Every structure is written in C-alpha cells, then in structure tokens.
Amino acid sequence: MAQTSTPEEPARPAPNPRRRSERARRAILAAAGELLGEVGYARLTMEAIASRARVGKQTIYRWWPTKAAVVFDVFTEMTGGAAGDPLPDTGDLDADLRTVLHAIVEEYADPLMDRINRVFIAEVQTDPELAENVMELLLRPNLRAFRDRLLSAREAGLIDAGTDPDLAVDLLLAPVQQRWLMRSGELTHAYVDALVDTVMRALRPRG
Amino acid sequence: MAQTSTPEEPARPAPNPRRRSERARRAILAAAGELLGEVGYARLTMEAIASRARVGKQTIYRWWPTKAAVVFDVFTEMTGGAAGDPLPDTGDLDADLRTVLHAIVEEYADPLMDRINRVFIAEVQTDPELAENVMELLLRPNLRAFRDRLLSAREAGLIDAGTDPDLAVDLLLAPVQQRWLMRSGELTHAYVDALVDTVMRALRPRG
C-alpha cells in the first residue's frame, strides 16, 4: 500500500480510492435505508440521501440513475445477497426450504427491515411503475429461485411429476408473507417448519 | 303507505323516513368509496364525503363516529355481507371452499374494489391504529369464518385430526391474497380450484 508523509503529520496510509468508494457506497445505502423508514418512498429525495450520507449528489448519480435504483440496492444489501440467489440444494428439499424460510422469518423480525418493507408495500399499491420495477427486479427473481429449486426436486422425483411449481411456490411463501404483512399470527421457526411439513405432504409423489 | 296531496301537486307518496335514511346511507357509502379510490384514506374527510353525497355532515355522524367506521362499512357493503359471515356448509368441503374462493377472485377482479383494497393495504402499513381496526373488524372475523368451517370439517372427519386450522386457513387464503397484492400471477377460478385440490391433499385424514 502506498505511503505518504509531510513534515506536519505522521506517516499514514494514502487514501485508497477503492476503499473510499466502498465507504461512500455504504454510507449512501445506509442513509437511503434510514430515510426510507423515516419519510417513505414518495418523499425520499437524492438531495436528502446525499446530505445524510455526507456525499455530493453527483456521487450518488455516478452509481445509481434513479432513487428507485438506490432503494433496490438497499433491499439487496439488507437481505444479504442479490435478488434471485439460488436456494441451497443439499439434496434434502425439506431442510433446504426450512433454511431459507427461517432466514425470511429473521429478516421480517428485524425492526428496520420491517419498517422499510412496509413502506415499500405501501408505495407499490399506488405507484404502478414502482410496482412493476419491484416485481421485475426483486420479487420475480426470488420467486424464480424457489421455482428452480422445486423443478430440480421434481426432476429428482422428490415431488410429484404433476406439481405446478408456481402454485407450490405460492404455498410456501404466501403464508409467511401474509402473516408478516397483516400481522395475522405469530411468525416463528415452528410455524414455517409446520408449513413445510404440510405443503410437502401435498407435493410428495403420488402412487 | 300514507298519501298526501295539495291543490298544487298531484298525489304522491309522502317521504318515507326509513326509505330516505336508507337512500342517504347508500349515498354516503357510495361517495366514501369513490373518494377513497380517488384521494386515499389519509386525505379522505367527512366534509368531502358529505359534499359528494349531498348530505349534511351531521347526517354522517349520526351513523358513523369516525371516517374509519364509514370505510369499514364501504368494504362490508362491497363484499356483499358483514365481515365474518359463516362459510357455506353443504357437507362437501372442497365445493364450499371453491365457492368462497371464486367469490374472492371476483371481488379482486372488480376495478373499484381493487383500487379501494390497494388504498387500504397501503394505509394499513403506515397507520398502526387503522391496521388494528382492520384486523379486528374485517380480517380476523373472515379468518375465523374459514377456521370455523375447517373445524367443523375436522369434526366430521373430512380433514386430519392433527390439522392446525390457522395454518390451513393461511394455505387457502394467503396464495390468493398474495397473487392479487403483488400481481405475481393470474388469479383465475382454475388457479383456486388447483389450490383447493392441492391443499386438501395435505389435509385429508392420514391412515
């Protein structure tokens, strides 16, 4: 790593542009996440994000063309991976589904994640363009990842050959999302374990 | 029916207070429904409802203490019955579930119903008091009606004695609500028929 020194200051590492970029990127995403929870998507501005992150507005535009693009990355960052990451495939379908659904339960239990997710759900209802972006960039890739895992299980003979993979994905995900969204019941690991057991009973190969 | 006449006018029925009340009630609910779709819940006011319905504001307050109370009745009216109406019980559980889910599909397909439902879902995310009211007055009674039907089916031996009725209700309702909410797939009678078939496979009595 390059070193620099002046008579006035002790030697210290020179600014590393890559590291500084990464710091700015993280500050912007953190600021956007906070502001989204505080003021909602409609009133979120690039100016406010820049000010909170202590960067110039142009720094944001260098990486993200729109505030929607920033917000998608906030989500991606918080969920710990790009939308549509493949599900684990250990060969044990039930265990793999439990692993992923437990992670979703933890995500919904996080207060900031909860707040931001709710803001997002609210905005999507009244902003059809944002709704389409969310579908295309977040939801469909995630549904597809579940679908792919179920298709590989169907090929392996773990679920019935007649299984409709889209319906199967709905059965696994919708109850979890619905409980979170409507606060209609407890969302625990025990609940999703029972969910996986019950759904798999419907999907197992039929004689 | 009482008749009245004056020299100036031909005989016509006297105003019937009960019928006039019913007309005002319907005008208020219709106005509230339209305005809810146009401006959303947050910006909905009793004044605007009164003006659109051509009644005095006091007429509204005579029947509804708050705008939330009006809006609940808009929903009740549009769904054609009080929240929590019991499900049909013909003895054929699958057929009864299909009947009710077909009606829900029709409800979501109605454009005004769709718009109002979306406004409601949006407001609920950022207004915890409204969310609790919706849960208590609309959602829980409906979930309970499904639950009761499943409990009676469990008693009749149509579903397994070990069935968790809350989980079973989630499996039947959440996929439908989720598809509507996220516009993540087609919501047809064929879809809910396949849903009922699949869920019932999981719930049938086990040997």
Question: Is residue A7 a part of any domain in this protein?
Answer: no
pLDDT at A150: 96
Residue A28 has pLDDT above 80, yes or no: yes
Q: Which residues contact B136 (CB under 8 A, 6 or more apart)?
A: none
Q: Are A37 and A90 in a shared domain?
A: no
pLDDT at B107: 87
Provide the shortest C-alpha distance from residue A62 to chain B (in Å).
31
pLDDT at A43: 86
Q: Is A171 on the interface with B (CB under 8 A)?
A: yes
B189/B19 Cα distance (integer angstroms)? 38
Set of chain A residues whose Cβ sits within 8 Å of the Cβ of B170: 174-175, 178-179, 185, 195
Higher model confidence: residue A197 or residue B79? A197
B39, B167, B172, B179: best to mutate for the A interface, most A CBs within 10 A: B167
Q: Are B144 and B196 in a shared domain?
A: yes
Q: Are B65 and B90 in a shared domain?
A: no
Set of chain A residues whose Cβ sits within 8 Å of the Cβ of B123: 122
Q: Are A61 and A110 in a shared domain?
A: no
**Tens of pLDDT, residues A38-92:** 888 878 999 999 999 999 999 999 999 888 888 878 877 776 656 678 999 999 9
pLDDT at A37: 82
ipTM of the complex as predicted: 0.77
pLDDT at B2: 45
3-state secondary structure B172-186: HHHHHHHHHHHCCCC
Q: Average the pLDDT over B17-34 and give the result.
A: 89
Which among B135, B181, B184 has CB closest to A183?
Answer: B135
Question: Is residue A9 a part of any domain in this protein?
Answer: no
A179 confidence band (pLDDT: 50, 70, 90) = very high
Question: Is residue B175 a part of any domain in this protein?
Answer: yes
**Which of B73, B99, B115 is the endpoint of a domain?**
B73
Q: What is the mean pLDDT of chain A?
A: 86
pLDDT at A83: 67
CB contact under 8 A, B125 and A121: yes
**Tens of pLDDT, residues B151-164:** 999 999 999 999 99
The share of chain B scoring above pLDDT 70, in percent, equals: 90
Domain count, chain B: 2
Residue A100 has pLDDT above 60, yes or no: yes
- What CATH code is carried by the domain that includes residue A19? 1.10.10.60
* Highest mean pLDDT, choosing among A1-10, B90-99, B111-120: B90-99
CB contact under 8 A, B170 and A173: no
Q: Are A56 and A93 in a shared domain?
A: no
Give how far Cα B38 sits from Cα of A33, B77, B81, B115, B125, Å: 29, 18, 24, 9, 19
Residue B4 has pLDDT above 60, yes or no: no
CB contact under 8 A, A135 and B182: yes
Residue B172 has pLDDT above 50, yes or no: yes
Domain hosting residue B86, numbered range: 79-203
Closest CA to B173 of A179, A162, A50: A179
Helix axes B67-78, B111-126, angle to 10 degrees: 140
Q: Are B149 and B63 in a shared domain?
A: no
pLDDT at B8: 53
CA B181 to chain centre: 16
B11 confidence band (pLDDT: 50, 70, 90) = low
Question: Is residue B104 a part of any domain in this protein?
Answer: yes
Question: Is residue B6 a part of any domain in this protein?
Answer: no
**Which of A38, A56, A77 is the endpoint of a domain?**
A77
Provide the shortest C-alpha distance from residue B21 to chain A (in Å).
34
Q: Is A139 on the interface with B (CB under 8 A)?
A: yes
